[in-house]
Amino acid sequence: MAVSQFSCPWWWNKIDSNMFITLFNEEKGDECFSLAATLVKDAGRNNLTERENAWLAGTMYAAGAETTAGVLTWFMLAMIAYPETQKRAQAELDAVIGRDRIPIFADRDRLPYICAMIKEILRWHPVDPVGLPHCSIEDDWYKGYFIPKGSICIANVWHLNRDPDIYGLDADHFNPSRHLDEKGQIAPGPPDTKEESHVTYGFGRRLCVGRHVANQSLFIDISLMLWALNIENTIDPNGNPTSLDLDGVIDDGLVVRPMPFQVKITPRFPESTSIIEREMELGENLIHLLAIAKSISHRY
């Protein structure tokens, strides 16, 4: 039986290796701080080959970029399917932030519902519903089951995140309030979730090392979008809301995304656009000033 080269793991390994090595080599001579630049600088100390360094940097990039983008896609779908959660989050943003400035990282502790929303979107539709495969390093027994050394273990993250005994009878639904206590603050997470309130980031010592970066990225992205925008369902030619597929997925290989859907996005208030444009200009000016300062420091 003929097999296409495009379906062979070795072929994709070759393609990815060439891509990662090319991108990694572009970092050589770049004095900006980054993981790739650090790996280049410490190549002798780490005793890694160029290919190993390239794959290390490429894996970190892919793990952060694809997963965050996938989570935000599920977030957009949730805002359409559960508009009441969007309204509550926007009410919290108006009360804490107002409409004269954008949310910043320092606001996080004062936005518990936004934080609960992040926990819930990661629980409700994990982009890696069966987690990452792990290999047992020695013989083990677990609840009467013998696991030989070298076994590949795959955790059913989807089921664990939707266990009704832990998350309630509405575990299949998007409900950020499940992560709040009676005072409206973030409640303690279930045991063994490292206070994440879900197992999407994995377990134990192999817990995702980038989870703090991911949580911060999702916080600033989601809070800014909800502060500035209304995210709504579209209307079909008959004047009815477009039907949504909350269970259909596309397996992109690294992450699982929802089926394509339409969305209507509009500014929440007239000033939001100008405020964001002002912040973008300030950010560009700051980057320019940092570049000048770096140039001066190298000169002297």
208 is in an annotated binding site: yes
**3-state SS of the chain?**
CCCCHHHCHHHHHHHHHHHHHHHHHHCCCCCCCCHHHHHHHCHHHHCCCHHHHHHHHHHHHHHHHHHHHHHHHHHHHHHHHCHHHHHHHHHHHHHHCCCCCCCCHHHHHHCHHHHHHHHHHHHHCCCCCCCCCEECCCCEEECCEEECCCCEECCCHHHHHCCHHHHCCCCCCCCHHHHECCCCCECCCCCCCCCCCCCCCCCHHHCCCCHHHHHHHHHHHHHHHHHHEEEECCECCCCCECCCCCCCEEECCCCEEECCCCCEEEECCCHHHHHHHHHHHHHHHHHHHHHHHHHHHHHC
Binding site for heme: what residues are annotated? Answer: 208
Binding site: what residues are annotated? Answer: 208
